[in-house]
Amino acid sequence: MTLQLSQKEEQLLQDQQNHEKICIEKYQQYASKAQDPQLKSLFQSFAGKETQHLNTINSMLSGQVPLMQQSQQAQQSTSPSSASPSASKADALLCTDMLMTEKFVSSAYDTAIFEFADANVRQALNHIQKEEQEHGEGIFNYMNSNGMYNTK
């Protein structure tokens, strides 16, 4: 079965495609800049997941109906690291930017989900949004456990 997208649906997917490309680029760049090996690993992992998201979006744009599997991503544990204070400050800036990015991207998926007629597309977008939220949670947990995000 071929997916027939309306003009609006295609534009929304193109927007999400651009968001995913930016996320991949940022996660890859930030992984190379991160001082803490744990943060570097977290960013590399998320870059891989964003690549999967991009592949799903590209498939939909080429007319393929997505069939999603349940998320099998486990949150990485985030025990405090022993990064230096200057590294922590630089890493905190990278984390803050990526957390803001994930909030924006998740919100964009939230809006897009309601604009699609095909239930399989809505399910795929919902799946991706859930993983974006998990990325945000992973970054938050890292920041919180390393004294970079005060919830009090």
Query: Does any domain span residue 150?
Result: no
User: Would 11 be classed as within a structural domain?
Assistant: yes
Over range 116-141, report the average pLDDT: 95
H or E segment and range at residue 67: none
In a domain, 39, yes or no: yes
Per-residue pLDDT tens over the stretch 92-125: 999 999 999 999 999 999 999 999 999 999 999 9
Lowest mean pLDDT among 2-6, 15-19, 21-25, 92-96: 2-6
Q: Is residue 21 part of a domain?
A: yes
Q: Domains in the chain: how many in total?
A: 1
Apex CA 45: angle with CA 43 and CA 47, to 5°? 70
68 located within any domain: no
In a domain, 2, yes or no: no
Cβ contact 140:99 at 8 Å: yes
CA 18/CA 16 separation, integer angstroms: 5
Q: Is 76 contained in some domain?
A: no
Enter the tokens of residue 135: 């990325």
Q: Report if residue 151 sits inside a domain.
A: no
Report field, pTM of the whole predicted structure over 0.95: no
Q: Which domain holds residue 105?
A: 7-63+83-145
Q: What is the CATH number of the domain that holds 138?
A: 1.20.1260.10
